[in-house]
Amino acid sequence: MGIEIGGQLLHPAQIYEAILNYILFLILWNKRKNTEYDGQIFFTYIIGFSINRFIVEFFRTNPMILGPISIAHLFSLGIILIAVVAMMILKKKYHNLQSSVGSNAIVNRQLDWGSFAIILGAIIISVAFYYFIHSF
């Protein structure tokens, strides 16, 4: 199932990216109460978004520089590396601060099924809307 643009059948990369971003949102939403340190959700988002872009780039028609790898792939990998290093620094800084001040309890949380249902509904509506728009 593809989208015909200019007489060429293409992957609906926008839909792939939208679905991956909804999944990322669901992950971040459920993680929001389980953070260990300030900035954890932000850097998790940066890493997740970069992974999503890395995956979606395989379905786009961009100039490749090394086999199936494009500049966007390399950029995504660079962003992931920077975000992982930043997370490690923040986590170490937080744990050093906590060891000098005292520990802080982390609250575990179950998957929020209501959020899951909303995201699933948003995915279905987005895909339907995308294909409705491209049917004209």
Range 5-26 average pLDDT = 88
pLDDT digits (tens, 9 = 90+) for 18-55: 999 999 999 999 898 888 888 899 999 999 999 999 99
Distance CA 92, CA 72 (A): 30
Angle, alpha carbons 46-114-117 (nearest 5°): 80
pLDDT digits (tens, 9 = 90+) for 48-88: 999 999 999 998 877 788 888 888 899 899 999 999 999 99
pLDDT at res. 134: 67
First-to-last alpha carbon distance for the chain, in angstroms, is 16
Report the predicted TM-score, pTM, of the whole model to 2 decimal places: 0.72
**134 Cβ contact partners less than 8 Å away, ≥ 6 residues apart:** 3, 12
Residue whose token pair is 């699933």: 120
Q: Assign residue 39 a region (left: φ > 0; alpha: ψ between -120 and 50; beta: otherwise).
A: left
Distance CA 88, CA 77 (A): 17
pLDDT digits (tens, 9 = 90+) for 88-97: 998 888 878 7
pLDDT at res. 56: 94
